Amino acid sequence: MKRLTLLFAAVIFSLSSSQTQADLIIEFSDGNAIGNVFTAAVGSVVTIDVFVTETGGNTELSTDGLVGFGLDASYSATSGITAVVTANSVDSAFPFVTDEAFDNSNLKLAGSTFGTPPQGTSIALGQFSVSVSDIGVTEFSFDDYSTLSDFVTANSATDLDPVIFAGGRTFDFSISAVPEPTTALMFGSAALGMLAPRRRKRNS
Protein backbone atom coordinates (compact mmCIF):
# COMPACT_ATOMS: atom_id res chain seq x y z
CA MET A 1 0.00 0.00 0.00
CA LYS A 2 2.85 2.37 0.86
CA ARG A 3 4.47 1.67 -2.53
CA LEU A 4 1.23 2.52 -4.36
CA THR A 5 0.86 5.73 -2.37
CA LEU A 6 4.46 6.77 -3.14
CA LEU A 7 4.01 5.92 -6.83
CA PHE A 8 0.79 7.96 -6.99
CA ALA A 9 2.53 10.92 -5.30
CA ALA A 10 5.44 10.69 -7.74
CA VAL A 11 3.08 10.71 -10.74
CA ILE A 12 1.19 13.76 -9.37
CA PHE A 13 4.49 15.60 -8.74
CA SER A 14 5.74 14.83 -12.23
CA LEU A 15 2.48 16.01 -13.83
CA SER A 16 2.40 19.23 -11.80
CA SER A 17 6.06 20.02 -12.54
CA SER A 18 5.57 19.43 -16.27
CA GLN A 19 2.57 21.79 -16.27
CA THR A 20 4.55 24.55 -14.55
CA GLN A 21 7.77 23.93 -16.46
CA ALA A 22 9.60 27.14 -17.23
CA ASP A 23 10.24 28.07 -20.83
CA LEU A 24 11.24 30.81 -23.25
CA ILE A 25 9.23 31.04 -26.46
CA ILE A 26 9.06 33.06 -29.66
CA GLU A 27 5.69 34.78 -30.17
CA PHE A 28 4.05 36.62 -33.07
CA SER A 29 1.48 39.41 -33.32
CA ASP A 30 -0.32 41.07 -36.23
CA GLY A 31 -1.07 44.12 -34.09
CA ASN A 32 -4.48 42.81 -33.07
CA ALA A 33 -3.73 39.45 -31.47
CA ILE A 34 -0.81 37.26 -30.41
CA GLY A 35 -0.78 33.78 -31.88
CA ASN A 36 0.58 31.58 -34.63
CA VAL A 37 -2.31 31.50 -37.14
CA PHE A 38 -3.25 34.69 -39.01
CA THR A 39 -5.66 35.59 -41.82
CA ALA A 40 -5.34 38.43 -44.34
CA ALA A 41 -7.35 39.67 -47.30
CA VAL A 42 -5.88 39.11 -50.76
CA GLY A 43 -4.04 42.23 -51.91
CA SER A 44 -3.13 43.35 -48.39
CA VAL A 45 0.20 43.70 -46.59
CA VAL A 46 0.37 42.46 -43.00
CA THR A 47 3.07 43.46 -40.50
CA ILE A 48 4.07 40.78 -37.99
CA ASP A 49 5.87 41.67 -34.74
CA VAL A 50 8.23 39.09 -33.23
CA PHE A 51 8.84 38.72 -29.47
CA VAL A 52 10.72 36.45 -27.08
CA THR A 53 8.64 35.74 -23.97
CA GLU A 54 9.13 34.16 -20.57
CA THR A 55 6.65 31.51 -19.45
CA GLY A 56 6.44 29.55 -16.22
CA GLY A 57 9.28 30.37 -13.84
CA ASN A 58 11.83 31.76 -16.28
CA THR A 59 13.19 35.18 -15.25
CA GLU A 60 16.29 35.66 -17.41
CA LEU A 61 14.69 38.31 -19.62
CA SER A 62 13.13 40.33 -16.82
CA THR A 63 16.09 40.19 -14.42
CA ASP A 64 19.17 40.09 -16.69
CA GLY A 65 17.90 41.60 -19.93
CA LEU A 66 18.77 40.51 -23.47
CA VAL A 67 22.00 41.65 -25.09
CA GLY A 68 21.52 39.91 -28.43
CA PHE A 69 19.44 37.48 -30.47
CA GLY A 70 19.25 35.69 -33.81
CA LEU A 71 16.41 34.08 -35.79
CA ASP A 72 16.45 32.37 -39.18
CA ALA A 73 13.10 31.51 -40.80
CA SER A 74 12.21 29.59 -43.92
CA TYR A 75 8.77 29.88 -45.49
CA SER A 76 6.69 28.41 -48.32
CA ALA A 77 3.09 27.80 -49.34
CA THR A 78 1.34 24.69 -48.04
CA SER A 79 -1.48 25.46 -50.49
CA GLY A 80 -2.19 28.06 -53.15
CA ILE A 81 0.11 31.03 -53.73
CA THR A 82 3.02 31.86 -51.40
CA ALA A 83 2.86 35.10 -49.44
CA VAL A 84 6.05 37.16 -49.87
CA VAL A 85 8.11 39.06 -47.30
CA THR A 86 8.47 42.65 -48.52
CA ALA A 87 10.33 44.28 -45.59
CA ASN A 88 11.85 43.48 -42.21
CA SER A 89 13.70 45.25 -39.42
CA VAL A 90 15.42 44.51 -36.12
CA ASP A 91 13.91 46.34 -33.12
CA SER A 92 15.60 49.65 -32.25
CA ALA A 93 16.58 48.22 -28.84
CA PHE A 94 19.26 46.26 -30.77
CA PRO A 95 21.09 48.97 -32.76
CA PHE A 96 23.95 46.69 -33.85
CA VAL A 97 22.12 44.80 -36.60
CA THR A 98 23.77 41.51 -37.51
CA ASP A 99 21.27 40.49 -40.16
CA GLU A 100 17.87 41.57 -41.45
CA ALA A 101 17.92 39.94 -44.87
CA PHE A 102 14.99 38.35 -46.69
CA ASP A 103 14.08 36.80 -50.03
CA ASN A 104 11.14 34.80 -51.39
CA SER A 105 11.77 31.80 -49.13
CA ASN A 106 13.94 32.95 -46.22
CA LEU A 107 13.92 35.62 -43.52
CA LYS A 108 16.60 36.59 -41.00
CA LEU A 109 16.47 38.82 -37.91
CA ALA A 110 19.55 39.24 -35.70
CA GLY A 111 21.01 42.05 -33.63
CA SER A 112 22.70 43.08 -30.39
CA THR A 113 23.25 46.03 -28.07
CA PHE A 114 26.18 47.23 -25.99
CA GLY A 115 24.15 49.85 -24.19
CA THR A 116 21.30 49.29 -21.74
CA PRO A 117 19.75 45.95 -22.70
CA PRO A 118 15.97 45.63 -23.00
CA GLN A 119 14.34 43.89 -20.02
CA GLY A 120 10.89 42.47 -19.40
CA THR A 121 8.78 39.34 -19.48
CA SER A 122 8.37 39.87 -23.23
CA ILE A 123 10.96 41.63 -25.42
CA ALA A 124 10.38 42.87 -28.99
CA LEU A 125 12.94 41.48 -31.44
CA GLY A 126 11.77 42.98 -34.72
CA GLN A 127 9.08 42.86 -37.35
CA PHE A 128 8.47 41.97 -40.97
CA SER A 129 5.82 42.69 -43.58
CA VAL A 130 4.11 40.04 -45.69
CA SER A 131 2.30 40.70 -48.97
CA VAL A 132 -0.54 38.30 -49.83
CA SER A 133 -1.23 38.56 -53.55
CA ASP A 134 -3.54 35.58 -53.99
CA ILE A 135 -5.40 32.86 -52.09
CA GLY A 136 -3.09 30.44 -50.25
CA VAL A 137 -1.63 29.37 -46.94
CA THR A 138 2.02 30.19 -46.21
CA GLU A 139 3.84 28.59 -43.30
CA PHE A 140 6.88 30.12 -41.59
CA SER A 141 9.34 28.10 -39.49
CA PHE A 142 11.61 30.14 -37.18
CA ASP A 143 14.83 28.41 -36.14
CA ASP A 144 18.16 29.19 -34.47
CA TYR A 145 20.22 31.70 -36.44
CA SER A 146 23.59 29.93 -36.04
CA THR A 147 25.54 27.41 -33.97
CA LEU A 148 26.97 30.31 -31.95
CA SER A 149 25.29 31.86 -28.89
CA ASP A 150 22.66 34.14 -30.42
CA PHE A 151 20.20 34.74 -27.56
CA VAL A 152 22.42 35.95 -24.71
CA THR A 153 21.56 37.66 -21.40
CA ALA A 154 23.33 40.85 -20.39
CA ASN A 155 24.39 40.46 -16.75
CA SER A 156 25.39 36.81 -16.56
CA ALA A 157 26.05 36.28 -20.29
CA THR A 158 23.87 33.17 -20.23
CA ASP A 159 23.31 31.40 -23.54
CA LEU A 160 19.54 31.02 -23.95
CA ASP A 161 19.62 29.13 -27.26
CA PRO A 162 19.52 25.68 -25.57
CA VAL A 163 16.33 26.71 -23.74
CA ILE A 164 14.58 28.38 -26.67
CA PHE A 165 15.50 25.78 -29.29
CA ALA A 166 15.58 22.75 -26.98
CA GLY A 167 15.64 19.47 -28.88
CA GLY A 168 15.75 21.20 -32.26
CA ARG A 169 12.47 23.01 -31.64
CA THR A 170 11.26 25.58 -34.16
CA PHE A 171 8.48 28.16 -33.86
CA ASP A 172 5.95 27.93 -36.65
CA PHE A 173 3.10 30.14 -37.75
CA SER A 174 0.97 30.48 -40.86
CA ILE A 175 -0.82 33.24 -42.72
CA SER A 176 -3.87 32.43 -44.86
CA ALA A 177 -4.86 34.73 -47.71
CA VAL A 178 -8.62 34.88 -48.24
CA PRO A 179 -10.71 36.83 -50.80
CA GLU A 180 -11.51 40.46 -50.03
CA PRO A 181 -15.00 40.89 -48.53
CA THR A 182 -16.21 42.66 -51.71
CA THR A 183 -14.87 39.84 -53.92
CA ALA A 184 -16.46 37.19 -51.72
CA LEU A 185 -19.76 39.11 -51.90
CA MET A 186 -19.56 39.24 -55.71
CA PHE A 187 -18.98 35.46 -55.87
CA GLY A 188 -21.90 34.91 -53.52
CA SER A 189 -24.22 37.12 -55.60
CA ALA A 190 -23.17 35.36 -58.82
CA ALA A 191 -23.88 31.96 -57.27
CA LEU A 192 -27.35 33.09 -56.17
CA GLY A 193 -28.00 34.48 -59.65
CA MET A 194 -27.14 31.11 -61.21
CA LEU A 195 -29.44 29.26 -58.82
CA ALA A 196 -32.44 31.58 -59.33
CA PRO A 197 -33.32 30.53 -62.94
CA ARG A 198 -33.13 26.85 -61.99
CA ARG A 199 -35.60 27.39 -59.19
CA ARG A 200 -38.00 29.15 -61.58
CA LYS A 201 -37.87 26.22 -64.02
CA ARG A 202 -38.66 23.75 -61.27
CA ASN A 203 -41.64 25.80 -60.13
CA SER A 204 -43.07 26.14 -63.65
pLDDT band of 44, cuts 50, 70, 90: very high
pLDDT band of 203, cuts 50, 70, 90: low
DSSP for residue 20: T
The verdict on residue 18 lying in a domain is no
Q: Where are the beta strands (DSSP E) in the chain?
A: 23-29, 34-35, 37-41, 44-55, 66-80, 84-90, 96-99, 106-112, 122-132, 136-144, 152-153, 171-178
Question: What confidence tens digit (pLDDT) does each residue in 115-163 have?
Answer: 899 999 999 999 999 999 999 999 999 999 999 999 999 988 899 999 9
The verdict on residue 10 lying in a domain is no
The verdict on residue 81 lying in a domain is yes
The verdict on residue 192 lying in a domain is no
Domain that holds residue 129: 23-182
CA 115/CA 131 separation, integer angstroms: 34
Backbone angles phi, psi at 134, to 5 degrees: -155, 170
The verdict on residue 123 lying in a domain is yes
Question: What confidence tens digit (pLDDT) does each residue in 31-41 have?
Answer: 999 999 999 99
Of the ranges 4-8, 64-68, 99-103, 198-202, which one carries the lowest mean pLDDT score?
A: 4-8
pLDDT for the residue 57: 84
Mean pLDDT, rounded, of the chain = 84
pLDDT for the residue 56: 82
The number of folded domains in the chain is 1
For the entire predicted model, the pTM comes to 0.79
The verdict on residue 193 lying in a domain is no
